[in-house]
């Protein structure tokens, strides 16, 4: 899968290209990333990409033209995939959307806003979807773009062991159960005994009960969704 990112801060993307799972997946050829600075598509001496908002108000707005030119250049270079921008007013990114995008296997062009945001005319004419990563305001779209990239890339076949993504939060309909590792006793607290028993059925039952309890306590909305989508079984006791 190919990602082309339009950003004023290209070096930030080393976070996903040079670290961990996403970096290894890139080395294996599962995905590629190209960054594009819209300043390259300006013609004035100052390489201006922003201007004051019509109607007044604080802050600056990203101009439509340098962004549109950059998208057209990306198109010419071969990425004809989905164009996504980021904003608090976008559709909330979910595990469901991420899995759908992975299944569709389309390249993506990601537009990172800065300042007060992007001229609406660019968004109306060049962007397929606007994504929010939560109800808070970031300084720019770069971290949101990297959240999207990380969430998608780790689901690409071969990025991590398939089992890891099958039993993690949301894919089961629930949140993940707690995890423990050595030592067996740490600061006076022992690991739950069942996990040391080697009894696979009992461990699976305990894990499911923990996931149910945790989800019910912190995200009861997910329980309703899991019921509706048939992800809760007869043996699940709430
Ligand atoms: N004026 C905007 C508002 O009040 O909604 C906030 C603009 S914010 C300072 C600058 C950029 O950060 C946005 O254009 C967007 O790309 C990004 N951004 C901020 N919060 C975000 C969020 N919750 N999800 C996704 N992107 C976000």
Determine if residue 59 is labeled as part of a ligand binding site. Answer: no
Ligand 1 centroid to Cα of residue 213, in Å, is 34
- Answer yes or no: pTM beyond 0.90: yes
What atom of ligand 1 comes closest to residue 143's alpha carbon? 26
Ligand 1 centroid to Cα of residue 132, in Å, is 8
Ligand 1 centroid to Cα of residue 147, in Å, is 14
And the tokens for 5?
A: 């990112």
Q: What is the model's pLDDT at position 235?
A: 83
49-76: pLDDT as tens digits: 999 999 999 999 999 999 999 999 999 9
Q: Who's near 72: CB < 8 A, 6+ residues apart? A: none
- Whether cis (ω within 30° of 0) applies to the bond prior to 183 is yes
29-47: pLDDT as tens digits: 999 999 999 999 999 999 9
Regarding the beta carbon of 6 and ligand 1, being less than 6 Å apart is answered no
Atom 22 of ligand 1, residue of closest alpha carbon = 88
Atom 2 of ligand 1, residue of closest alpha carbon = 116
Low pLDDT (below 50) residues in the chain:
none
Q: What is the model's pLDDT at position 162?
A: 77
And the tokens for 9?
A: 């801060």
The pick from 89, 138, 143 for probing ligand 1's pocket by mutation, whose C-beta has the most ligand atoms within 8 angstroms, reads 138
Determine if residue 138 is labeled as part of a ligand binding site. Answer: yes
Q: What is the model's pLDDT at position 43?
A: 96
Atom 6 of ligand 1, residue of closest alpha carbon = 116
And the tokens for 20?
A: 């961990």
* Three-class HEC string of the chain: CEEEEECCCHHHHHHHHCCHHHHHHHHCCCCEEEEECHHHHCCCCCCCCEECCCCCCCCCEECHHHHHHHHHHHHHCCCCCEEEEEEEEEEECCHHHHHHHHHHCCCEEEECCCCCCECHHHHHHHCCEEEECCCCCCCCCHHHHHHHHHHHHCCCCCCCCHHHHHCCCCCCCCCCCCCCCCCCEECCEECCHHHHCCCHHHHHHHHHHHHHHHHHHHCHHHHHHHHHCCCCCCCCCC
And the tokens for 90?
A: 């976008």
And the tokens for 160?
A: 């991590």
Question: 153, 129, 128, 132: which is closest to 141 by C-alpha?
Answer: 132
Which residue carries 């930030």 as its tokens? 12
Q: What is the model's pLDDT at position 57?
A: 95
Determine if residue 107 is labeled as part of a ligand binding site. Answer: no
Q: What is the model's pLDDT at position 236?
A: 87
Atom 5 of ligand 1, residue of closest alpha carbon = 88
Q: Which domains does the chain have, with CATH numbers?
A: 2-153 (3.40.1280.10), 167-228 (1.10.1270.20)
Q: What is the model's pLDDT at position 164?
A: 78
Q: What is the model's pLDDT at position 234?
A: 79
């Amino acid at each position: 899968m190919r990602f082309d990112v339009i950003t004023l801060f290209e070096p930030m993307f080393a976070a996903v290209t040079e670290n961990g799972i996403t970096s290894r997946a890139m080395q294996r050829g599962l995905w590629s990333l190209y960054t594009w600075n819209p300043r390259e598509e300006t013609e004035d001496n100052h390489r201006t990409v922003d201007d004051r908002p019509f109607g007044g108000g604080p802050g600056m707005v990203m101009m439509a033209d340098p962004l549109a030119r950059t998208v057209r250049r990306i198109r010419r270079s071969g990425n004809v995939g989905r164009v996504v921008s980021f904003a608090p007013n976008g559709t909330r990114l979910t595990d469901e959307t991420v899995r759908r995008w992975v299944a569709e296997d389309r390249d993506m062009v990601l537009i990172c806003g800065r300042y007060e945001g992007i001229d609406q005319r660019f968004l109306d004419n060049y962007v397929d979807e606007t994504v929010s990563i939560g109800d808070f305001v970031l300084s720019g779209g770069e971290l949101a773009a990297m959240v999207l990239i990380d969430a998608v890339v780790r689901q690409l076949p071969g990025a991590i062991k398939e089992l890891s993504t099958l039993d993690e939060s949301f894919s089961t309909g629930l949140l993940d159960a707690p995890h423990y590792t050595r030592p067996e006793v740490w600061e006076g607290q022992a690991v739950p005994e069942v996990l040391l028993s080697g009894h696979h059925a009992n461990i699976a039952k305990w894990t499911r009960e923990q996931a149910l309890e945790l989800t019910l306590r912190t995200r009861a909305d997910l329980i309703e969704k899991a019921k509706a989508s048939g992800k809760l079984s007869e043996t699940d006791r709430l």
